[in-house]
């Protein structure tokens, strides 16, 4: 069997204990479901001195859906989100995205926080230690260049979370706690601002800082959905994903938000598409032209199955189909 590198397992029973453990051990990493981290550790991508298990912190398990929106703790498992009746009706994109993550047994283990913090992925990175060494490593881990885009100076590893595009489309805000400014420090930001377009850095988390929970605004009259393009209907990470949320008021599309995943090192808010949709009457030609713009800000490179051009095309098709489907189906 593959060997996990040696580490100490810390199992705090509260959020503050967890933050202290992270603060005290600079080589520590937090873990919740472990469905991505343990794979990476078996591949030798991470060798933390400590793993701080967040599952024992009750503060991170809260899941509440009410009039003022929804709050979902970082340790809430994806299967719970998928099956939650109010999330299914009010925040359908999120429910669909949770159901699209990997495969059912992994959804029983994986958490929302883990999926939000999912490492970026690349053919040349998500391989065994033997494989990567035989190639001389890559920029993201230990090599001199990006194997997927050798001329570039940066890492283009692909943003691969399913839930994040859905959360961003739904207008989620993420609450971060702890970090170098002390275990009591806290900040909340729109989820799209959490990510940075850099396959290595990935997000703005500071050392010792954690995602505590995600907050979704009220979902009155909200239509939303998530589409994932992948080779098999299960197990696979997205090659392209699109999430859309909007309201229809007096026959017009309002407050449209469109997010694209797996097409850059961070999730992409499709501002041009959103602009076309805003205030528009839902006519088929309009949907098509809005969908055409969805890839404007994406930067796919050849680090996944499917050429970048094909993935762009798929993003447009997914977007158009999703818009059409939502407008035809109407609210649940």
Segment interacting with another protein (CB under 8 A) among 8-16, 172-180, 190-198, 249-257: 8-16
The one among 16, 123, 154, 198 contacting another protein by CB under 8 A: 123
User: Binding mask 130-169 vs another protein (x if CB under 8 A, - otherwise)?
Assistant: xx-xxx----------------------------------
Binders of another protein in range 35-64 (CB under 8 A): 35, 38-39, 41-42, 51, 53, 55
Nearest approach in angstroms of CB 101 to another protein is 11
CB 321 within 8 A of CB 244: no
Segment interacting with another protein (CB under 8 A) among 103-111, 158-166, 218-226, 269-277: 103-111
Nearest approach in angstroms of CB 192 to another protein is 27
Q: Is 285 near another protein (CB under 8 A)?
A: no
* Closer to another protein by Cβ: residue 247 or 289: 289
Segment interacting with another protein (CB under 8 A) among 112-120, 213-221, 265-273, 309-317: 309-317
Q: How far is CA 171 from CA 49, 77, 112, in A?
A: 36, 20, 16
Segment interacting with another protein (CB under 8 A) among 111-119, 168-176, 204-212, 234-242: 234-242
Nearest approach in angstroms of CB 276 to another protein is 20
User: What are the residues binding another protein (CB under 8 A)?
Assistant: 1-9, 11, 34-35, 38-39, 41-42, 51, 53, 55, 79, 102-106, 108-109, 123-124, 127-128, 130-131, 133-135, 229, 231-237, 305-307, 310, 313-314, 317
């Amino acid at each position: 069997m593959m060997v996990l590198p040696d580490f100490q397992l810390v199992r705090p029973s509260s959020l503050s204990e967890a933050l202290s453990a992270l603060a005290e051990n600079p080589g520590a990493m937090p873990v919740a479901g472990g469905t991505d981290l343990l794979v990476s550790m078996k591949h030798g991508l991470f060798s933390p001195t400590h793993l701080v298990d967040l599952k024992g912190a009750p503060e991170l398990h809260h899941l509440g859906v009410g009039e003022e929106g929804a709050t979902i703790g970082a340790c809430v498992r994806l299967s719970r989100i998928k099956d939650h009746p109010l999330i299914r009706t009010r925040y359908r994109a999120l429910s669909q995205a949770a159901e699209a993550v990997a495969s059912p047994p992994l959804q029983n283990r994986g958490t929302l926080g883990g999926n939000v913090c999912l490492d970026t992925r690349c053919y040349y990175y998500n391989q065994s230690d033997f494989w990567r060494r035989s190639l001389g490593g890559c920029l993201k881990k230990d090599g001199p260049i990006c194997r997927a885009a050798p001329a570039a100076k940066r890492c283009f590893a692909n943003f691969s979370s399913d839930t994040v595009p859905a959360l961003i489309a739904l207008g989620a805000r993420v609450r971060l706690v702890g970090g170098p400014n002390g275990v009591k420090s806290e900040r909340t930001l729109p989820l799209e601002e959490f990510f940075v377009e850099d396959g290595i850095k990935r997000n703005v988390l500071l050392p010792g800082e954690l995602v505590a929970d995600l907050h979704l605004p009220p979902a009155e009259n909200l239509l939303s959905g998530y589409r994932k393009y992948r080779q098999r209907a299960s197990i696979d990470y997205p090659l392209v994903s699109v999430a859309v949320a909007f309201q229809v008021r007096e026959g017009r599309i309002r407050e449209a938000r469109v997010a694209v995943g797996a097409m850059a090192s961070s999730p992409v808010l499709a501002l041009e598409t959103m602009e076309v949709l805003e205030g528009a009457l839902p006519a088929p030609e309009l949907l098509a032209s809005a969908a055409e713009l969805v890839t404007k800000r994406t930067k796919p490179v050849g680090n996944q199955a499917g050429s970048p051009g094909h993935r762009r095309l798929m993003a447009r098709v997914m977007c158009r189909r999703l818009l059409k489907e939502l407008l035809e189906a109407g609210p649940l």
